């Protein structure tokens, strides 16, 4: 039995070539409260066609083709929506739309959204928005660097899972940096699970996914 509290989230930090991580080194996972998959897709692509069911392998292929055609600078072009109790999980392969403040606040109107993004060539991100307002956002590697309308709202939860909201002093910053480099993203997903009650596991990718196009 493992005593690692982050064990169930470590697959999300695994290298791109690791079979445990089918998402790669650039992706975004967002959680929408009280919305059905079709409505989540509509928020990513308001004028796009209705979603259609795909397997994860089909989604992966479609995103790969889009990235090849566009040179990778326009995200992955598609998003998959998966119902999870009171929440709906949106998965963007090679995407980061839900971590863009302007986009996130628009998509959160009438709802509550928690987004976690991985980007090995830029910066990982955790963001929380409610009804059109960004509450708090920070890079998991430096959780003290927060902004939003109420950046301290999640501080108690953050401390519980090792995302200290306090700034480091000269004696602690190096150890904290090493910890967050190795564990920050997993801790961000742990925080999302605490907030939503949804533990994002690879099993959620096994069923049919409702997939839609992303439009600016």
Cross-strand pairs, 137 = 127, 147
Q: Quickly tell me which residue has 């989230």 as its tokens.
A: 9
The answer to whether position 104 is within a domain reads yes
For residue 155, the enclosing domain spans 7-213
The answer to whether position 162 is within a domain reads yes
From first to last of its 216 residues, the chain has per-residue pLDDT tens of 558 889 999 999 998 889 899 999 999 999 999 999 999 999 999 877 789 999 999 999 999 999 999 998 889 999 999 999 999 999 999 999 999 999 999 999 999 999 999 999 999 999 999 999 999 999 999 999 999 999 999 999 999 999 989 887 766 767 777 878 889 999 999 999 999 999 999 999 998 999 999 986
The answer to whether position 2 is within a domain reads no
Helix (H, G, I), strand (E, B) or coil at 35: coil
CB of 194 within 8 A of CB of 157?
A: yes
Domain count, the chain: 1
Distance CA 31, CA 40 (A): 10
The answer to whether position 44 is within a domain reads yes
For residue 64 the two structure tokens come to: 């790969």
């Amino acid at each position: 039995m493992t005593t690692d509290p982050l064990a169930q989230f470590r697959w999300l930090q695994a290298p791109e070539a690791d079979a445990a991580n089918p998402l790669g080194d650039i992706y975004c996972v967002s959680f929408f409260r009280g919305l059905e998959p079709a409505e989540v897709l509509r928020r990513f692509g308001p004028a796009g066609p209705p979603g259609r069911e795909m397997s994860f392998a089909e989604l992966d292929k479609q995103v790969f083709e889009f990235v090849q055609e566009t040179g990778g600078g326009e995200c992955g072009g598609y998003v998959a929506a998966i119902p999870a109790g009171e929440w709906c999980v949106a998965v963007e392969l090679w995407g980061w739309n839900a971590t863009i403040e302007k986009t996130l606040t628009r998509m959160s109107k009438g709802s509550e959204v928690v987004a976690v993004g991985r980007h090995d060539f830029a910066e990982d991100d955790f963001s929380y928005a409610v009804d059109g307002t960004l509450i708090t956002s920070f890079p998991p590697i430096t959780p003290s660097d927060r902004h939003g309308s109420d950046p301290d709202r999640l501080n108690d939860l953050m401390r519980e899972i090792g995302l200290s909201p306090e700034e480091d002093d000269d004696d602690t910053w190096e150890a904290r940096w090493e910890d967050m480099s190795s564990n920050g993203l997993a801790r961000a997903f742990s925080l999302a699970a605490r907030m939503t009650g949804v533990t994002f596991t690879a099993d959620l990718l096994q069923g049919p996914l409702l997939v839609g196009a992303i439009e600016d």
